[in-house]
Chain A
């Protein structure tokens, strides 16, 4: 938690400058904070994702900037009470512009011993633990690997511990419902997540009315359940207000976000909306062929509800049919998209090769997860970059780009569709498990400001002798796109090598050389349509760079890198930052930018894949910071990597702090 006066420990200083009187029935001190990180953790069946999601929505209403990190097991219901079954949801909310879900939770809500055991190590020293004491039975302690009860053995002395009999209080709140037969005991107990939500909402001065409305809508057909949940939510809130245990409540004021209308959005949602935007701006209906796979399936779910945009979703028999059907639809003139994760991309490789050999527009979305093989289905990783670049037989280059934040996925999807349609090529768009389920506030764009995507179908023969399917645009090297049904333009395409001029099958030696080079040149030609990179180097002048070190990144490390760079700058380091949307081709100014700096640091959620590409392409000694734990990088480790490269900084010699940024 970042208090206005970081020196003040709210636990020892009861009176705070800037505090506002609490509306509670007793004199609880209200502490004004810049932000806080809360992690809700419990069993898979405890409803932690829902609890976290609701808390996030309440924080959005208050106007905070937000970032969330859901983390759940691959098993739908792992054995109850075990470490494997723990599900968690972390939310970082702030009165300032933030970029990550937070490195360390300030508050951990642990609904059972396994949740405590799994997550305690992440909590900042002195952090607050809210523990469902009722769940700390001998049996549950055993399942979590505890020999002794941590609530009794003093092992939590570094933390502020609130033992709350959440299960018991929930059942008591619903005793009448159970005795009247409106609910059974199991149903009543299931409402305990609302108790936790009510309590934490009170603690952080969040309004619970939006959740009440939400419950009443969600359970409109089951009023008994709705009533029970609402009652327990209020009970949790009242518990905070009336018990003496909680001395402080906290308030995080609205963040100074840019004016406009906001909503919360996850990466998967944003991808779906970005595709729809590209559909509207190109005038082509979407055909989305997909096979269910974690963590990409939500894109299929989202698009299947948008049929009134002309979206056709096709749940295929396998990954190959998913891309195959999309390719067929592309031939027919639709905006063709297939979404999957790494294992699915492995299966789609041959069809991707066909897409680029036939030069048909196609967007492949890879929501990356931990690999290899089935790997870590619900955990994040950036380890499919080289697969995207090279995971096909033959020399098979295609454009590759990446989304950097949940809301950015909207623009990334739009851009992927633009490149595919205008340049007549399959495009791989990389997202990942973190972006897929993480959410943040999104300043809604004005749809009228989105550019049109001009697909320019060919409708007339392009030579006096007739239609030549490979007569290219001199700028983009794109081939004409003539749809079946167009009179007089019948032509055949396929995976065999084609004569560069006529498009007929050709096994000619020089022709293959020319076509191979052309396929590379065609991808390189995309770079001409890319804007210059934006380098964040506050000390740069017309004479040159201001920083000693450039931190470069791609994809979802955007947030941790921004946070880490901000921390390093506060320590006095002169650090520049640039983040890549386009990974193939690289932007034209990238080489010059890399050569501008003495040091280049590249944090990645893999063992150095982009680093390998940059070193090969530009002969720059890029240094990596690499971690693959299935979790996003932390801002602090990025700052640590900067320290390692530049050495500890004398803060007096170069005092530059950036008040805009709260260290994340």
Chain B
């Protein structure tokens, strides 16, 4: 692939594709009731609705239940090794900025074994869309606690309770200065579609944490935010340009504290201190404070886009240097390269 052959804008195709065109012939082998099904179906439909071309779409995954995802998409795909999908996707997106590159990962894959690659892909702002399926459990290895499991979680490897403090994927991504960070839930198809649409439209690295139910090993871990009678209390919808309030009749509000953190107060007491949601703030500070309102979906939990800012994209930068070098020096000649510097002739 020569630099000049690779368009940086995704080409628009006159032909259209349906959800079926994004669906491979492979039998889906997740457990019945797994949250992954809903995400798969949503994404297959979304890509068709967005007019994407399966031949120009690549799904890269690591290891774990969610990482089987590429096999079920009739696109190009790599089911790679544990934790390394962001690194592989970085190489692919840098070499081929014309492609639409997605990373499918889970809480163990992205945050434990692959934590390093995740933060570096985010800080470089590679043009990839990372979907992190968070079910707070290792499913494929049958039920060990994960880096997002709450302290005290009792699972196969923690019979007396987990003593590891969990990571917040959203906080981590914001700490790495990711340019697009959002959180959504597998079964809320409308919200999932909205967030994925925005993530896909974003130029640069997007991280979407998707709370995803594991029916076998961690069923309904998110019931506080998803059960009919509790979700209205615990979902904090992030609406751009709106003051952040939630609960029945918006009775709770998010306000800024003196130390820069955010806190939840009764709206009636908030006065004019309610934080207006603006994911385009240059500094990730407020978004980070927002992400600290919850650690696990066991109480009030913000859902939506935390941060969405424009920053130079790695794929553009790496290819621009090549183009600049070719423009200023001319396309390299092997003969000139070999005989550059001091040479001498032997008769």
Residues of A within 8 A of B (CB): 57, 60-61, 63, 210, 254, 257-264, 273, 276-277, 280, 283-285, 287, 289, 306-312, 314, 316-318, 320-321, 324-334, 336, 350-351, 353-354, 358, 443-445, 447, 450, 484-496, 504-505
In the assembled complex, B131 has its CB within 8 A of some CB on chain A: no
- Say yes or no: A324 contacts B78, CB within 8 Å: no
- Say yes or no: A263 contacts B338, CB within 8 Å: yes
Known: A331-B58, A490-B54. 11 other contacts (CB 8 A): A287-B94, A307-B322, A309-B331, A316-B120, A320-B117, A321-B84, A330-B91, A443-B346, A484-B99, A487-B55, A492-B73
- Say yes or no: B98 contacts A351, CB within 8 Å: no
Cross-chain contact of B98 among A277, A326, A331, A485 (Cβ < 8 A)? A485
Q: Which residue of B lies closest to A446 (CB)?
A: B335
- Say yes or no: A494 contacts B79, CB within 8 Å: yes
The 11 sampled A-B contact pairs (Cβ below 8 Å) are A254-B346, A261-B339, A262-B344, A306-B337, A310-B3, A310-B332, A321-B120, A333-B96, A354-B80, A485-B96, A493-B78
In the assembled complex, B211 has its CB within 8 A of some CB on chain A: no
- Say yes or no: B338 contacts A447, CB within 8 Å: yes
Cross-chain contact of B334 among A277, A324, A484, A489 (Cβ < 8 A)? A277
- Say yes or no: B79 contacts A493, CB within 8 Å: yes
Q: Which residue of B lies closest to A505 (CB)?
A: B71
Cross-chain contact of B337 among A60, A273, A285, A312 (Cβ < 8 A)? A273
In the assembled complex, B224 has its CB within 8 A of some CB on chain A: no
Among B77, B91, B93, find the residue whose CB has the most chain A CB atoms closer than 10 A: B91
- Say yes or no: B342 contacts A264, CB within 8 Å: yes
Contacts of B188 in A (CB 8 A): none
What's the minimum C-beta distance from A29 to chain B, rounded to whole angstroms?
28
- Say yes or no: B91 contacts A60, CB within 8 Å: no
Contacts of A494 in B (CB 8 A): 70-71, 77-80
A312 to B95, CA, bound (A): 8
Cross-chain contact of A331 among B78, B90, B321, B324 (Cβ < 8 A)? B78
- Say yes or no: B91 contacts A485, CB within 8 Å: no
- Say yes or no: A308 contacts B339, CB within 8 Å: no
Q: Which residue of B lies closest to A448 (CB)?
A: B335
Cross-chain contact of B94 among A306, A329, A496 (Cβ < 8 A)? A329
Cross-chain contact of A491 among B1, B2, B76, B328 (Cβ < 8 A)? B76
Q: Which 6 A-B pairs have the closest CB atoms?
A: A494-B79, A328-B91, A325-B91, A324-B87, A328-B92, A309-B332
Contacts of A260 in B (CB 8 A): 345-346
- Say yes or no: B329 contacts A308, CB within 8 Å: yes
Cross-chain contact of A496 among B79, B92, B331 (Cβ < 8 A)? B79
Contacts of A261 in B (CB 8 A): 339, 343-346
In the assembled complex, B268 has its CB within 8 A of some CB on chain A: no
> How would residues 24 to 49 of chain B score, 1 for a CB under 8 Å from any chain A CB and 0 otherwise?
10100000000000000000000000
Q: Which residue of A lies closest to B88 (CB)?
A: A328
Among A321, A330, A333, A444, find the residue whose CB has the most chain B CB atoms closer than 10 A: A321
Q: Which residue of A lies closest to B21 (CB)?
A: A490
Cross-chain contact of B325 among A308, A327, A330, A351 (Cβ < 8 A)? A308
> How would residues 289 to 329 of chain B score, 1 for a CB under 8 Å from any chain A CB and 0 otherwise?
00000000000000000000000000000110110111011
Among B99, B120, B338, find the residue whose CB has the most chain A CB atoms closer than 10 A: B338
A156 to B96, CA, bound (A): 65
What's the minimum C-beta distance from B150 to chain A, rounded to whole angstroms?
29
A312 to B87, CA, bound (A): 15
- Say yes or no: B2 contacts A285, CB within 8 Å: yes
Are A324 and B84 CB-contacts (below 8 A) given A285-B1, A329-B95? yes
In the assembled complex, B56 has its CB within 8 A of some CB on chain A: yes
Q: Which residue of A lies closest to B90 (CB)?
A: A325
- Say yes or no: A314 contacts B345, CB within 8 Å: no
Contacts of A336 in B (CB 8 A): 91
What's the minimum C-beta distance from A237 to chain B, rounded to whole angstroms?
20
In the assembled complex, B74 has its CB within 8 A of some CB on chain A: yes
Q: Which residue of A lies closest to B347 (CB)?
A: A259
A519 to B344, CA, bound (A): 47
A307 to B93, CA, bound (A): 18
In the assembled complex, B116 has its CB within 8 A of some CB on chain A: yes
Contacts of A504 in B (CB 8 A): 26
In the assembled complex, B89 has its CB within 8 A of some CB on chain A: yes
What's the minimum C-beta distance from A466 to chain B, rounded to whole angstroms?
10
- Say yes or no: B344 contacts A61, CB within 8 Å: yes
Q: Which residue of B lies closest to A313 (CB)?
A: B318
In the assembled complex, B330 has its CB within 8 A of some CB on chain A: yes
- Say yes or no: A328 contacts B90, CB within 8 Å: yes
- Say yes or no: A263 contacts B78, CB within 8 Å: no
- Say yes or no: A262 contacts B58, CB within 8 Å: no
What's the minimum C-beta distance from A459 to chain B, rounded to whole angstroms?
11
What's the minimum C-beta distance from A479 to chain B, rounded to whole angstroms?
15
Contacts of A495 in B (CB 8 A): 79-81
Contacts of B99 in A (CB 8 A): 332, 484-485
Cross-chain contact of A485 among B3, B56, B87, B335 (Cβ < 8 A)? B56
What's the minimum C-beta distance from B101 to chain A, rounded to whole angstroms?
9
A60 to B342, CA, bound (A): 9
Cross-chain contact of A324 among B71, B91, B318, B342 (Cβ < 8 A)? B91
Among A261, A264, A307, A351, find the residue whose CB has the most chain B CB atoms closer than 10 A: A307
- Say yes or no: B339 contacts A444, CB within 8 Å: yes
- Say yes or no: A312 contacts B79, CB within 8 Å: no
Contacts of B335 in A (CB 8 A): 447
A321 to B60, CA, bound (A): 14
Contacts of A276 in B (CB 8 A): 332, 334, 337
Q: Which residue of B lies closest to A256 (CB)?
A: B346
What's the minimum C-beta distance from A323 to chain B, rounded to whole angstroms?
8
A88 to B44, CA, bound (A): 63
Contacts of A496 in B (CB 8 A): 79
- Say yes or no: B84 contacts A307, CB within 8 Å: no
Are A57 and B346 CB-contacts (below 8 A) given A350-B81, A351-B81? no
In the assembled complex, B75 has its CB within 8 A of some CB on chain A: yes
Are A320 and B346 CB-contacts (below 8 A) given A276-B337, A308-B330, A325-B90? no
What's the minimum C-beta distance from A211 to chain B, rounded to whole angstroms?
11
What's the minimum C-beta distance from A77 to chain B, rounded to whole angstroms?
28
What's the minimum C-beta distance from B336 to chain A, rounded to whole angstroms?
10
A287 to B96, CA, bound (A): 11
Contacts of A321 in B (CB 8 A): 84, 87, 90, 116-117, 120
- Say yes or no: B55 contacts A60, CB within 8 Å: no
Contacts of B82 in A (CB 8 A): 350
Are A285 and B3 CB-contacts (below 8 A) given A309-B332, A492-B79? yes
Cross-chain contact of B95 among A334, A358, A490 (Cβ < 8 A)? A334
In the assembled complex, B14 has its CB within 8 A of some CB on chain A: no
Are A324 and B117 CB-contacts (below 8 A) given A63-B346, A285-B1? yes
Q: Which residue of A lies closest to B26 (CB)?
A: A504
A495 to B90, CA, bound (A): 19
Cross-chain contact of A444 among B56, B120, B319, B338 (Cβ < 8 A)? B338
What's the minimum C-beta distance from A139 to chain B, rounded to whole angstroms?
40
A312 to B6, CA, bound (A): 14
A354 to B61, CA, bound (A): 13
In the assembled complex, B341 has its CB within 8 A of some CB on chain A: yes
- Say yes or no: B337 contacts A331, CB within 8 Å: no
What's the minimum C-beta distance from B327 to chain A, rounded to whole angstroms?
9
Are A484 and B55 CB-contacts (below 8 A) given A287-B94, A317-B117? yes
Q: Which residue of B lies closest to A270 (CB)?
A: B338
Contacts of B324 in A (CB 8 A): 307
Contacts of A57 in B (CB 8 A): 342
Among B88, B324, B326, find the residue whose CB has the most chain A CB atoms closer than 10 A: B88
A417 to B339, CA, bound (A): 22
- Say yes or no: A308 contacts B326, CB within 8 Å: yes
Q: Which residue of A lies closest to B75 (CB)?
A: A490
A318 to B86, CA, bound (A): 13
A60 to B341, CA, bound (A): 13
- Say yes or no: B88 contacts A327, CB within 8 Å: yes
- Say yes or no: A329 contacts B338, CB within 8 Å: no
- Say yes or no: B91 contacts A289, CB within 8 Å: yes
Contacts of A285 in B (CB 8 A): 1-3, 95, 322
Contacts of B341 in A (CB 8 A): 263
